[in-house]
Chain A
Amino acid sequence: DAGVTQTPRHEVAEKGQTIILKCEPVSGHNDLFWYRQTKIQGLELLSYFRSKSLMEDGGAFKDRFKAEMLNSSFSTLKIQPTEPKDSAVYLCASSLDGSQNTLYFGAGTRLSVL
């Protein structure tokens, strides 16, 4: 079985640009998570979907970050407009339904905003 696939692996953007990151979860997984990872803040939850429904929108990340789950096998994270402080690794993870289930992570997208 394929794991979680994230594209692109690297993204360089100019300040003010719009970027879209993509994620394909493990087939059959109902839960999908977007995290931002930085050395200072660690893993911060951006969005959480259950069966395509948005359950958590990440509070502080609402204004410029928007995650969507167009179907059960594809999700996007849009950052608009980008700022230099958005430079980080963006991770997508999926799991089976239920709180006892573990997360499977993608390899991440490293975003650099100039």
Chain B
Amino acid sequence: AQKVTQTQTSISVVEKTTVTMDCVYETRDSSYFLFWYKQTASGEIVFLIRQDSYKKENATVGHYSLNFQKPKSSIGLIITATQIEDSAVYFCAMREGDTNAYKVIFGKGTHLHVLP
């Protein structure tokens, strides 16, 4: 069965440091896509970054990067040089690719607090 688990409920870091948020997933598909989304205090949810399961290189977008460890079914989100405005809830998500039903399953989220 498809499952996404984020064990860190809340993380606090000091501004300008680097933070890593963990996510592990379960799937039987050989092809799948992993996503990270950010939900701001206003409730808006936006896409941040994606990792394709068949790619060995870790995805990077701006100051977001991923640590993809396929044998461990793990996809960590790394934010470098954190800013106050990075304070938000971060969701990990998976979308399987082998079947025709591309439903998207989310983890429960990690609340990041960036302190001055």
Contacts and interface: CB of A to CB of B under 8 A. Distances in A.
Interface in B34-51: 35, 37, 43-47, 50
A110 to B, nearest CB: 8
Given A48-B101, A108-B43, 11 more contacts: A33-B103, A42-B91, A43-B91, A43-B106, A43-B108, A43-B109, A100-B33, A100-B52, A103-B37, A103-B47, A103-B104
Interface residues of B, number: 27
Interface of A: 31, 33, 35, 41-43, 45, 48, 50, 55-56, 89, 91, 93, 98-100, 102-105, 107-108
Contacts of B93: 103
Interface in B66-116: 91, 93, 95-97, 100-109
Contact of B109 (A42, A50, A104): A42
A105 to B, nearest CB: 4
19 contacts: A31-B102, A33-B103, A42-B91, A42-B108, A42-B109, A43-B109, A48-B103, A48-B104, A89-B43, A93-B45, A99-B31, A100-B50, A100-B52, A100-B97, A102-B47, A102-B50, A104-B47, A105-B46, A107-B44
